[in-house]
Structure 1
């Protein structure tokens, strides 16, 4: 295919070209944003290593009913709507590794940003949340 043929194709299929450019820009933006986020993303295996080796504090931002249905062993529940980086659960953890977790990873990503902005030194985020933890066949604890 020559450059002239490519230009002719683009002229005949403007919608496809716009869609391709849009998707490419969205992917680039996502990847660049990932590089510059102020916290580190973890997968479930990485979280287990962090818990076992560095005694990480896992903070679950799920709703109370969801937390009681199943959470990572040893995690503390902080309801996202009442989240304050200076609350008593987090007060003494500014120098410890702190991992933000929720059901699917969306609310906890915002919480991780807020923790880092509040001066927490080692902030992590469980990518994919509890759903990813379950997919990795790792245990959950029920109740409080």
Structure 2
């Protein structure tokens, strides 16, 4: 179950993993750049670089109610992305705290670190 978006901006990697394994998983959006995505990524993620977020990002969402987890390297860009999306009415967006680096450390060591 997704937490109340009015109180939560970030989810830790364990929460993200649980949600991604759920019956109705949220979208998983990687907001890093292509060279980072090519180097390593979380299975099932769609690349929407923050550098062009104002256009392509919105195409990933059909409405403001589509839940999504957004991640980057350490969690700063993904927070910026969800702040932008929430201003646009996409309320069920969450940043993965610690980003792909924490995912690699705590969830899947097969994901390369950089």
TM-score over 0.5 for the pair: yes
Between Structure 1 and Structure 2, the one with more helix by share is 1
Runs of 5+ unmatched residues, structure 1: 1-36
Residue 84 of structure 1 aligns to a residue in which SS?
Answer: helix
Match of residue 122, structure 1, among 76, 84, 92 = 92
**Count of residues in Structure 1 that have an aligned counterpart in Structure 2:** 106
Runs of 5+ unmatched residues, structure 2: 1-5
Match of residue 17, structure 2, among 33, 45, 48 = 48
TM superposition shift of 1:89: 3.9
Asked if 1 retains the 8 angstrom alpha-carbon contact of 2:16 and 2:96, the reply is yes
Larger radius of gyration: 1
Q: CA RMSD in A?
A: 2.3
- TM-score, normalized by length of structure 1? 0.64
Bigger relative CO (Cα 8 Å, ≥ 6 apart): 2
Asked if 2 retains the 8 angstrom alpha-carbon contact of 1:70 and 1:140, the reply is no
